[in-house]
């Protein structure tokens, strides 16, 4: 194979296979470019719209409204043109741009047959193995983009992003969302690092977006310094792992680990150094992930940043950032610990241009360039591995990951719940609640890894439990932080004590806050209950001493969390109203927003089947 064939393959692979599966991310990119261009050249928007109109006309030919996708594009373009025309002579509303961009991206991210059987979501590697596209990617992309659209509406309603500086905020928001979408589909150590940074760097700025506030600037500094430090440590771990195994492609890493045959290495007692470096690199990568997950002992930024940043940004960090970090954790933990055993296909990129083709082409001996001998050797090693349950080459990797995750999850959960007790600031309390929930979710990942070896269906159920948990967690936390933001605008305080007796002046908001608190606690019949139930069920299904210990700890934690969640509910509903507080108005629109966001907590508590179905579909092609 000569160089031009390689380039031809690369181009055809990228244009014909990868890019069509990458459309939602491309739309987000285009929205960011438009937002920035409009910020710099006010006149550019009209030009860009004319270009888009021309492109759409040429692309559709004679069939204007042939497919739903085309109709969506036309509607989006019409909204943007109207937005441009009603704002002649000044900046057009960036809110409309951001909302149309994220909704359009969401539209293209929704799989065919959303509530039925998802089609076209089989696992395939795109961009020469850098990213992976499967039902899990599809779900998280849809989840994150839908959240971005809701969030754009929220920041507009609370006034955090106004007409003048809104472009900056929406650009950062969409940039972070893009990074999070990549986190959910990362399949290569480099994409993992790039995606984590793409998600983090805009978040640092967002947490300090309020100018002239001491607390916001302090929060941003702490977040940036800790975040960059954790990312640096993770990168060093990545360099060690990639160097040791000679690859950075996750399925190939799993194949190499299987080839190394760690059980016999341990038995022989030789190359203890290799194992030590492996464990060290795994721990270092875990530092970066734990920071994103706000898992103990890398949680300390979380309460400070949540208190200093505005409540809207907290909602973004506690939902989108956490969901993406969970998805990345699942990708890494299952990716490196399962190839070759449950996977009958060769784990290496099997398409026209495999992952390492470029490096092989330029390898010094020159003969590797002519064929894929090296690749097929690696690929062939995997399916011939012994498949009996206990002595598989990857079972030490799995048990290492399970124990690491189990310990971190148990400590995170307990720490979060115990520290939430003494909090008087609602944002700090919710920050510790976020930490505790990260612990519960990591338990599901630990169960999935434990089950991955000999029971892939069980592992998929455990991941489905995690996805369900996230699917209801988004409504609880977005609702809670939206309420905090609206109440801040109304009463100018974020102390729990100042919420006393709110039910008399703001009944809808208070009832919704109470419902959310009870759901976060996990009492039936609210949606949070089913989330916890499914996670606990996954732990039982995984069995083994570690999982039973986790189950007991999670149970005790739920009881501990009873007190502080109910204390908020009691303050809001039962305590007398302070005399000092004047008349209070939340406004009809904010109350409606809160109502709509929090309503699914009740609906999915009574009828959880749709979310459960989506969660099953989302994990359908994992481990394939």
Partner 1 sequence: MMPLFANILTEPVGVAHYLVVGAVLFVCGALCMATKRNAIGVLLGIELVLNGANLNFIAFGSRYLRDSQGTIGLDGQLMSLFVIVLAAAEAAVALAIALNFYNSFSSIDVDQADQLQG
Q: How many residues of this chain bind partner 1 (CB under 8 A)?
A: 53
- Calpha distance 183→323 (Å, rounded): 10
| Minimum CB–partner distance for residue 217 and partner 1 (Å) | 4
| Minimum CB–partner distance for residue 202 and partner 1 (Å) | 8
| Minimum CB–partner distance for residue 305 and partner 1 (Å) | 8
Listed residue (333, 318, 63) closest to 192, CA to CA: 333
Sign of the alpha-carbon dihedral angle for 530, 406, 397, 238: positive
- Calpha distance 624→615 (Å, rounded): 17
Helices marked H in 159-271: 166-185, 189-207, 214-245, 250-260, 262-268
Tell whether residue 488 is a contact of partner 1 (CB under 8 A): no
Tell whether residue 273 is a contact of partner 1 (CB under 8 A): no
Applying the rule CB under 8 A, the residues between 404 and 423 that interact with partner 1 are 422-423
Tell whether residue 396 is a contact of partner 1 (CB under 8 A): no
Applying the rule CB under 8 A, the residues between 77 and 136 that interact with partner 1 are none
Tell whether residue 248 is a contact of partner 1 (CB under 8 A): yes
Tell whether residue 221 is a contact of partner 1 (CB under 8 A): yes
Q: Going residue by residue from 181 to 220, which x/- string records binding to partner 1, judged by CB under 8 A? A: --------xx--xx--x---x--xx--x--xxxxx-xxxx
| Minimum CB–partner distance for residue 310 and partner 1 (Å) | 14
Pick the closer one to partner 1 by CB: 29 or 194: 194
Tell whether residue 381 is a contact of partner 1 (CB under 8 A): no
Pick the closer one to partner 1 by CB: 139 or 204: 204
| Minimum CB–partner distance for residue 94 and partner 1 (Å) | 21
Tell me how many degrees the CA angle 126-131-137 measures, rounded to the nearest 5.
100
Tell whether residue 578 is a contact of partner 1 (CB under 8 A): no
Please give the sequence-ordered ranges of beta strands (E in DSSP) within 456-531, or none if there are none.
none
Tell whether residue 280 is a contact of partner 1 (CB under 8 A): no
Query: Which listed residue (25, 125, 307, 312) binds partner 1 by CB under 8 A?
Result: 307
| Minimum CB–partner distance for residue 417 and partner 1 (Å) | 16
Tell whether residue 351 is a contact of partner 1 (CB under 8 A): no
Integer CA distances (angstroms), 240 to 289, 291, 406, 437, in order? 16, 19, 24, 31
**Is the bond into 231 cis (omega within 30 degrees of 0)?**
no
| Minimum CB–partner distance for residue 211 and partner 1 (Å) | 8
Query: Which listed residue (364, 545, 576, 582) binds partner 1 by CB under 8 A?
Result: 364
Query: What count of other Cβ atoms lies within 10 Å of the Cβ of residue 368?
Result: 18
Tell whether residue 356 is a contact of partner 1 (CB under 8 A): yes
- Calpha distance 107→117 (Å, rounded): 17
Listed residue (270, 330, 292) closest to 460, CA to CA: 330
What phi and psi, each to the nearest 5 degrees, are found at residue 119? -120, 155
Pick the closer one to partner 1 by CB: 93 or 218: 218
Give 120's DSSP letter. S
Give 577's DSSP letter. P
Listed residue (417, 430, 432) closest to 496, CA to CA: 430
- Calpha distance 170→81 (Å, rounded): 19
Q: Residues in the site for partner 1, rule: CB under 8 A?
A: 189-190, 193-194, 197, 201, 204-205, 208, 211-215, 217-222, 224-225, 228-229, 231-233, 235-236, 238-240, 242-243, 246-248, 303-304, 307-308, 356, 358-360, 362-365, 368, 422-423, 428
């Amino acid at each position: 194979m000569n160089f031009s064939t390689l380039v031809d393959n690369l181009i055809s692979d990228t244009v014909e296979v990868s890019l069509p599966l990458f459309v939602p991310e491309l739309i987000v990119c285009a929205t960011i470019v438009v937002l920035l261009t409009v910020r710099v050249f006010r006149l550019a928007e009209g030009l860009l719209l004319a270009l888009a109109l021309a492109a759409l006309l040429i692309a559709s030919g004679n069939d204007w409204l042939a497919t739903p996708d085309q109709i969506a594009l036309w509607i989006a373009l019409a909204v943007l043109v109207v937005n441009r025309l009603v704002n002649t002579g000044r900046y057009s509303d960036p809110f409309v741009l951001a909302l149309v961009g994220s909704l359009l991206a969401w539209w293209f991210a929704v799989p065919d047959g959303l509530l039925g059987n998802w089609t076209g979501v089989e696992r395939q590697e795109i961009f020469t193995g850098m990213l992976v596209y499967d039902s899990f990617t599809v779900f998280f992309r849809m989840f994150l983009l839908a959240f971005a659209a809701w969030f754009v509406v929220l920041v507009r309603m609370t006034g955090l992003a106004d007409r003048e500086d809104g472009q900056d905020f929406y650009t950062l928001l969409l940039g972070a969302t893009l990074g999070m979408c990549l986190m959910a589909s990362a399949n290569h150590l480099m994409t993992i690092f790039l995606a984590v940074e793409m998600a983090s760097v805009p978040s640092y700025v967002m947490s300090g977006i309020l100018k002239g506030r001491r607390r916001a600037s302090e929060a941003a500094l702490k977040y940036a310094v800790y975040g960059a430090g954790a990312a640096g440590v993770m990168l060093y771990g990545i360099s060690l792992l990639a160097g040791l195994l000679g690859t950075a492609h996750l399925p190939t890493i799993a194949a190499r680990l299987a080839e190394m045959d760690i059980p016999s290495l341990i038995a022989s007692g030789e190359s203890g150094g290799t194992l030590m470096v492996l464990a060290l690199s795994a721990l270092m990568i875990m530092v970066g992930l734990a920071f994103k997950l706000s898992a103990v002992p890398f949680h300390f930024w979380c309460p400070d940043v949540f208190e200093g940043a505005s409540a809207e940004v907290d909602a973004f960090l506690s939902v989108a950032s956490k969901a993406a970090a969970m998805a990345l954790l699942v990708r890494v933990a299952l990716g490196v610990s399962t190839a070759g055993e449950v996977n009958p296909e060769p784990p290496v990129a099997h398409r026209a241009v495999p992952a390492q083709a470029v490096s092989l082409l330029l390898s010094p001996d020159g003969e590797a360039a002519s064929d894929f001998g090296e690749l097929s050797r690696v690929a062939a090693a995997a399916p011939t591995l012994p498949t009996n349950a206990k002595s598989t080459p990857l079972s030490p990797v799995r048990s290492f990951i399970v124990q690491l995750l189990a310990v971190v999850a148990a400590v995170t959960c307990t720490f979060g719940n115990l520290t939430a007790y003494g909090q008087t600031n609602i944002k700090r309390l919710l920050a510790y609640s976020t930490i505790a929930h990260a612990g519960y979710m990591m338990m599901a990942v630990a169960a999935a890894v434990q089950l991955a070896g000999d029971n892939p269906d069980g592992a998929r159920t455990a991941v489905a439990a995690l996805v369900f948990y996230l699917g209801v967690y988004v409504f609880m936390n977005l609702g809670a932080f939206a309420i905090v933001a609206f109440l801040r605008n109304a009463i100018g305080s974020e102390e729990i004590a100042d919420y006393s007796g709110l039910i008399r002046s703001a009944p809808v908001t208070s009832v919704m806050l109470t419902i959310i608190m009870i759901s976060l606690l996990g009492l039936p019949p609210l949606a949070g209950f089913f989330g916890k139930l499914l996670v606990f069920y996954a732990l039982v299904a995984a069995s083994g001493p570690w999982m039973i210990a986790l189950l007991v700890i999670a149970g005790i934690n739920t009881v501990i969390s009873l007190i502080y969640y109910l204390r908020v509910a009691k303050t809001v509903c039962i305590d007398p109203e302070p005399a000092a507080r004047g008349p209070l108005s939340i406004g009809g629109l904010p109350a409606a927003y809160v109502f709509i966001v929090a309503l699914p907590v009740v609906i999915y508590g009574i009828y959880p089947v749709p979310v459960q179905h989506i969660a099953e579909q989302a994990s359908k092609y994992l481990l394939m």
